[in-house]
Amino acid sequence: MPSDERGLTLVEILIALVVISVGLVGIAIIVPVSSEAIQQGGQLSRATFLAEQTLEQARLATWTSAPAVDCLGVSGGDAPPAPTGAGCHGTTVSRFPDEASVGGDPAYRRILRVADCSATPCAGVTDAALRLVTVVVTYRTPGVAGQPTSDKAVTLEWLVTQR
């Protein structure tokens, strides 16, 4: 019986182990980074959804000239919008108060501001029947690998016209 068969030498086995170790270390580095990116993407998606939700509520708020009903309101400085003129069905309380915690989650904060476009142009247009609605959702991202937490924000704007 010929003994032509040859096994792996110790050097070949050590080289294979080094190559496999380098690959495993690369995977071990990529997994936490990709997990963080997935988490940040999820937070950004949620913040965008929360901003769109509030924009839709503002868009649907009653603001008509006949009869004079203003449930959208206008922000005074850095305050939530308050109904103007005849008010909103008898109330002058803002329908869009600042939210320090959205849906019970303290990581998300939401504010809505409404600018009157009759004096200051909105998107280059000056019109008393036009308002600029701005929604800002701020959220806190957790720190990674010893880094501190940070605040990020999603800002959406929408022009609303009087009906």
Q: In which residue are the tokens 């600029």 written?
A: 132
Neighbouring C-alpha atoms within 13 Å toward the C-beta of 98: 9
**Does 4 map to a domain?**
no
What's the pTM value of the predicted model, to 2 decimals?
0.78
Predicted confidence (pLDDT) per residue in 142-162, tens digit:
766 667 778 999 999 999 999
**Does 99 map to a domain?**
yes
**Does 22 map to a domain?**
yes
**Does 3 map to a domain?**
no
**Does 153 map to a domain?**
yes
The amino acid at 90: G
Predicted confidence (pLDDT) per residue in 113-150, tens digit:
999 999 889 889 999 999 999 999 999 887 666 677 78
- Number of domains forming the structure of the chain: 1
- Exposure b/e, 47-64, CB count within 10 A at least 16 = b: beebbeebbeebeebebe
**Does 132 map to a domain?**
yes
**Does 104 map to a domain?**
yes
Structural domain for 142, as ranges: 10-161
